[in-house]
Amino acid sequence: MRTAKVSAWLTCAAMLWAAGVQAQKPKESTSPGILHRTAPEFVRADLAGRSIDLKSYRGKVVLLNFWATWCAPCQIELPKFDAWQKKYSAQGLQVLAVSMDDGDAPVRRTVRRLRLDFPIVMGDAKLGDEYGGVLGLPVTFLIDREGRVVAKLKGETDLAALESQVKQLLAK
């Protein structure tokens, strides 16, 4: 009897978990776009005024995230990316973020609130176009050590799956 009850609870819990995972499953882009091509280069100042040159990260795995302060799923992902930056930095991960906000004031507030410690630059339509059109957020690109875009993830990301992809790239 007790075993049956426990089994029922576990089944319910597993169904809830599965439903949650399914609901937040990200869409991995299948359109050719910039996938498997060299990531479009950019040089921009980050919020601290440092020059961020994407090309200078060749040899590292780059997680390039487009986000905005008003994007709810983005706010959930960013702290995780910050943790990964610390966790995998020695293995060669570099997180870069591009804010698609219309001005940098709310971005600075959010960065302070979330205590983000990786370079964040301001984006614009030109950069969005170069990355195939950023017409919905969040969008995350994974760029391998050779500078090629190997994944484009749209929408709220399955962070466990993304971390797994990052680890695979770092292992190469």
Considering beta carbons, is residue 92 or 155 the nearer one to another protein?
155
List the one residue from 128, 145, 161, 170 that touches another protein (CB under 8 A). Answer: 128
The Cα 78–Cα 73 span in angstroms is: 9
State in angstroms the smallest separation of the CB of 143 from another protein: 20
Is residue 61 within 8 Å of 93, Cβ to Cβ? yes
Piece of the chain touching another protein by CB under 8 A; list 39-47, 48-56, 97-105, 113-121: 97-105
Piece of the chain touching another protein by CB under 8 A; list 47-55, 56-64, 99-107, 164-172: 99-107
State in angstroms the smallest separation of the CB of 151 from another protein: 17
Q: What is the DSSP string of 67-124?
A: E-TT-HHHHHHHHHHHHHHHHHGGGTEEEEEEE--SSSHHHHHHHHHHT--S-EEE--
State in angstroms the smallest separation of the CB of 102 from another protein: 5
